[in-house]
A and B are shown apart, each in its own frame.
Chain A
Amino acid sequence: MLEITEGSFAVAEAVRLCRPQVISAYPITPQTHIVEALADMVANCQLDADYITVENELSALSACVGASAAGSRVYSATTSQGLALMFEVCFNAAGMRLPIVMTIANRAMGAPLSIWNDQQDSISLRDSGWLQFYAEDNQEATDLHFLAYRVAEDHSVLLPALVCFDGFILSHTYEPVDMLTQEQVDTYLPKFTPYQRLDAADPISFGMYATPDYYHEFRYETDNAVKRAKDVIKNAGKEFGTMFGRDYSAMVEEYRLDDAETAIVAMGSICGTIKDAIDEMRAEGKKIGLLRIRVFRPFPSEDIAQALSKVKRVAVLDKDISLGAKGAVALEVKDAMYGKTIPVLNYILGLGGRDVRKKDIAAIVAMVEKGQGDQFYGLRKEVL
């Protein structure tokens, strides 16, 4: 049913429909509306979950680790500083292969403190073993939660997953969202069956320490699991499309890319603006297209190389930066394009909530056409 709702409420409703048994979270702007909505659902018996109100984010995710290991479907949500406080637990959860799903309302990292949007927070977790999905709009942010649980809990994957949507830009915006019914979700997402769990009837040890004789192979196996998620996403995304009409089988989305000479690569809500800008530039006869990355982990290198194989130039837009290097998305796209002669230029933009408009996209297209790039875009020279 189509309803006009705030992004956070839509996400909370999606989470409710996934029937998590244990929720543990700590409030942080701009994630709060999600966890408040879930608390309200529990308080009104609309959601039969144990909601653990913890003293910080480290405990929030730690409680999820324990609850998941004991065999429950679990959920958390955070952003920015909260995710940073969870950093240690994040690697741990992935290493223990626990299918925790967590929403990130993307926000900048301090200092300086900023509550506004960019994607530095979740990007910084790229090496941890968590799957990472990025939503363009609230419909997708909603749907990706069903997909994330399906993929994370698949016994060939068994990894935690982040569903990322831009803080405020999506989390606090009202949009029409087609919400699935409980019956539909129950059909798509069956009851959680843990591969193994803490159980007195069948004792196993979780989280042992590994000597150099074993650690190396643990990382290899986890890396393989992240890569195996590609096929699982493809299949589960396709099934979603067949059942509900919205196909998420592709880890990247192509927009007017077929005959494009200039390709823009980006993630998240900025892609809506980019699509509008492309439409305007197309009307002027410019051959511009967009490649939107929906799944950042596993990284769809082959899909990207394939999609960009015929363009003349690529502009990668990053709402993050690996300081001293480039934007994280650009680094990976360049890696995917290794051996090709197509220039890939990087633009760091929109950090800490700086607005990105259609004219900015047009300006970046003009720059990439002139071969100017690998730089911050839109710096206010007067404050430097």
Chain B
Amino acid sequence: MVDKTLELFDCGHRACGGCGAALAARLVMKGAGTNTIVVSSTGCMEVFSTPYPETAWKVPWIHSLFENASAVASGVEASLKKQGRTEKVVIMAGDGATFDIGMICISGAFERGHDFTYICYDNEAYMNTGIQRSGATPYDASTTTSPAGSCSFGNKLPKKDMPQILAAHGAPYVATASIAYPADLMQKVEKAINTKGPCYVQVHAPCCTGWGFESEQTIAIAKLAIETGLWVNYEMVDGKVAKVKKVVKKPVEEYLKTQKRFRHLFKPKRQDAEIATIQAMADRNFEKYGTEIKLKKE
């Protein structure tokens, strides 16, 4: 059972007001519990939570490099096992550390089958260095390295399907979650922690600074991502989709309009073809995962 009152990610850290990642860390730790060792990659969370000599982590925590969290965690897990210790190992890494620079280490660690839980807090770009695109950046999002311009609509590539890649490695438990659904998120973390082997939970964590929205909108935007089908909350057990979050479908532009990173799709003029392309991506998600709740017509 998740102890919802447990606070292992303390207040006083340096995250922006309305930071989705900070909320993700807090919720993840409630799900993980006190008998946990956290391995962090370099990134926003590492920086805002551990300015020496202060730390927001009330559990043992280690950060080594940007790309190697899963290799460090492999060593931690092996070390604990050899000493007969019972702590659980949780990796906290951003999408850049996960989708891009950490890919080799992740693949190796998942292949080896270490008993750890990998949490990717996905804010869909390199926020720590100033909002550059990563493999998790959605199609048409404007970032500082995929800027929208007179001959560009921003990021030209679709988001990499990281959960499927890790499921293909034989991960026994893979899930996506969102800070908009805290109970679900905590339960998924708890489930991952208690599943033997390498588990992966990818948490959608909107970034008000990087995406361009007011800080009180973080949860609402995370929720809209799911309602429009641009983010799907699901679980995969032994490679098979076991549980999905069903929603009443909303058009993608309700989500896109809320954020400056998609502003170029509406101003100076509305880009119908681009919006339609994104809608088609959402439609494919609804179809693939069967997440649409069809309301009875009056």
Q: Tell me the A residues contacting B by CB distance below 8 Å.
A: 21-22, 24, 49-50, 52-56, 58-60, 62-72, 74, 88-89, 92, 96, 198-200, 202-211, 214
A-B contact pairs, 10 of them (CB 8 A): A52-B75, A62-B65, A62-B74, A66-B71, A69-B79, A74-B75, A89-B68, A206-B63, A207-B64, A214-B53
Within the assembled complex, what's the spacing in Å between the Cα atoms of A208 and B46? 8
Q: Hey, which chain A residues are within 8 Å of B50, CB to CB? A: 205, 208-209
Q: Hey, which chain A residues are within 8 Å of B61, CB to CB? A: 198, 203-206
Within the assembled complex, what's the spacing in Å between the Cα atoms of A69 and B47? 20
Q: Tell me the B residues contacting A by CB distance below 8 Å.
A: 34-37, 39, 46-47, 50-53, 55, 57-65, 67-68, 71-83, 85, 87, 104-105, 107-109, 111-112
Contact between A198 and B60, CB atoms less than 8 A apart: yes
Within the assembled complex, what's the spacing in Å between the Cα atoms of A72 and B75? 9
Closest A residue to B78 by beta carbon equals A50
Contact between B58 and A52, CB atoms less than 8 A apart: no
Closest B residue to A64 by beta carbon equals B75
Within the assembled complex, what's the spacing in Å between the Cα atoms of A92 and B69? 13
Q: Hey, which chain B residues are within 8 Å of A56, CB to CB? A: 104, 108
Contact between B37 and A208, CB atoms less than 8 A apart: no
Contact between B75 and A200, CB atoms less than 8 A apart: no
Contact between A70 and B107, CB atoms less than 8 A apart: no
A55-B105, A200-B37 are contacts. A66–B52 as well, Cβ < 8 Å? no
B76's partner among A49, A69, A204, A209 (CB-CB below 8 A) is A69
Contact between A66 and B60, CB atoms less than 8 A apart: no
In the assembled complex, the CB of B85 is this many whole angstroms from the nearest CB of chain A, namely: 8
Q: Which 4 A-B pairs have the closest CB atoms?
A: A66-B75, A55-B108, A62-B71, A63-B75
Contact between A67 and B78, CB atoms less than 8 A apart: yes
In the assembled complex, the CB of B44 is this many whole angstroms from the nearest CB of chain A, namely: 11
Within the assembled complex, what's the spacing in Å between the Cα atoms of A58 and B74? 13
Counting chain A CB atoms within 10 Å of each CB, the highest count among B58, B71, B83 belongs to: B71
Q: Hey, which chain B residues are within 8 Å of A208, CB to CB? A: 50-53, 55, 63
A72's partner among B47, B79, B105 (CB-CB below 8 A) is B79
Contact between B65 and A92, CB atoms less than 8 A apart: yes
Contact between A50 and B57, CB atoms less than 8 A apart: no
Counting chain A CB atoms within 10 Å of each CB, the highest count among B75, B81, B112 belongs to: B75
A198-B60, A205-B62, A208-B51 are contacts. A58–B75 as well, Cβ < 8 Å? no
Within the assembled complex, what's the spacing in Å between the Cα atoms of A74 and B82? 11
Within the assembled complex, what's the spacing in Å between the Cα atoms of A54 and B36? 24
Q: Hey, which chain A residues are within 8 Å of B78, CB to CB? A: 22, 24, 50, 52, 63, 66-67, 72
Q: Hey, which chain A residues are within 8 Å of B81, CB to CB? A: 50
Q: Hey, which chain A residues are within 8 Å of B62, CB to CB? A: 65-66, 69, 198, 205-207
Contact between B74 and A66, CB atoms less than 8 A apart: yes
Within the assembled complex, what's the spacing in Å between the Cα atoms of A335 and B118? 49
Contact between B64 and A62, CB atoms less than 8 A apart: yes
Within the assembled complex, what's the spacing in Å between the Cα atoms of A64 and B75? 6
Contact between A67 and B105, CB atoms less than 8 A apart: no
Contact between A204 and B112, CB atoms less than 8 A apart: no
Q: Hey, which chain A residues are within 8 Å of B36, CB to CB? A: 200
Contact between B52 and A65, CB atoms less than 8 A apart: no
Closest B residue to A197 by beta carbon equals B60
Contact between A66 and B64, CB atoms less than 8 A apart: yes
Closest B residue to A92 by beta carbon equals B64
Q: Hey, which chain A residues are within 8 Å of B107, CB to CB? A: 55
Q: Hey, which chain B residues are within 8 Å of A62, CB to CB? A: 64-65, 68, 71-72, 74-75, 105
A55-B108, A66-B39, A214-B53 are contacts. A21–B82 as well, Cβ < 8 Å? yes
Q: Hey, which chain A residues are within 8 Å of B58, CB to CB? A: 203
Q: Hey, which chain A residues are within 8 Å of B105, CB to CB? A: 55, 58-59, 62
Contact between B51 and A209, CB atoms less than 8 A apart: yes
Contact between B72 and A66, CB atoms less than 8 A apart: yes
In the assembled complex, the CB of A75 is this many whole angstroms from the nearest CB of chain B, namely: 12
Closest B residue to A96 by beta carbon equals B64
Within the assembled complex, what's the spacing in Å between the Cα atoms of A54 and B104? 10
Closest B residue to A206 by beta carbon equals B62
A63's partner among B47, B72, B111 (CB-CB below 8 A) is B72
A21's partner among B47, B71, B79 (CB-CB below 8 A) is B79
Q: Hey, which chain B residues are within 8 Å of A207, CB to CB? A: 62-64
Q: Hey, which chain B residues are within 8 Å of A205, CB to CB? A: 50, 55, 57, 60-63
Closest A residue to B76 by beta carbon equals A66
Within the assembled complex, what's the spacing in Å between the Cα atoms of A22 and B76? 10
In the assembled complex, the CB of B34 is this many whole angstroms from the nearest CB of chain A, namely: 6
In the assembled complex, the CB of A260 is this many whole angstroms from the nearest CB of chain B, namely: 47
Counting chain A CB atoms within 10 Å of each CB, the highest count among B55, B64, B73, B87 belongs to: B64
Within the assembled complex, what's the spacing in Å between the Cα atoms of A205 and B53? 9
Closest A residue to B55 by beta carbon equals A205
Closest A residue to B82 by beta carbon equals A21
Q: Hey, which chain A residues are within 8 Å of B55, CB to CB? A: 205, 208
Closest A residue to B87 by beta carbon equals A200
Counting chain A CB atoms within 10 Å of each CB, the highest count among B34, B51, B58 belongs to: B51
Within the assembled complex, what's the spacing in Å between the Cα atoms of A52 and B80? 13
Counting chain B CB atoms within 10 Å of each CB, the highest count among A53, A55, A70 belongs to: A70
Q: Hey, which chain A residues are within 8 Å of B67, CB to CB? A: 58
Within the assembled complex, what's the spacing in Å between the Cα atoms of A203 and B64? 17
Closest B residue to A51 by beta carbon equals B78
Within the assembled complex, what's the spacing in Å between the Cα atoms of A56 and B104? 9
Q: Hey, which chain B residues are within 8 Å of A72, CB to CB? A: 78-79, 82-83
Q: Hey, which chain B residues are within 8 Å of A203, CB to CB? A: 57-61
In the assembled complex, the CB of B94 is this many whole angstroms from the nearest CB of chain A, namely: 15
Within the assembled complex, what's the spacing in Å between the Cα atoms of A71 and B84? 12
Closest B residue to A26 by beta carbon equals B108
Closest B residue to A50 by beta carbon equals B78
Q: Hey, which chain A residues are within 8 Å of B82, CB to CB? A: 21-22, 49-50, 72
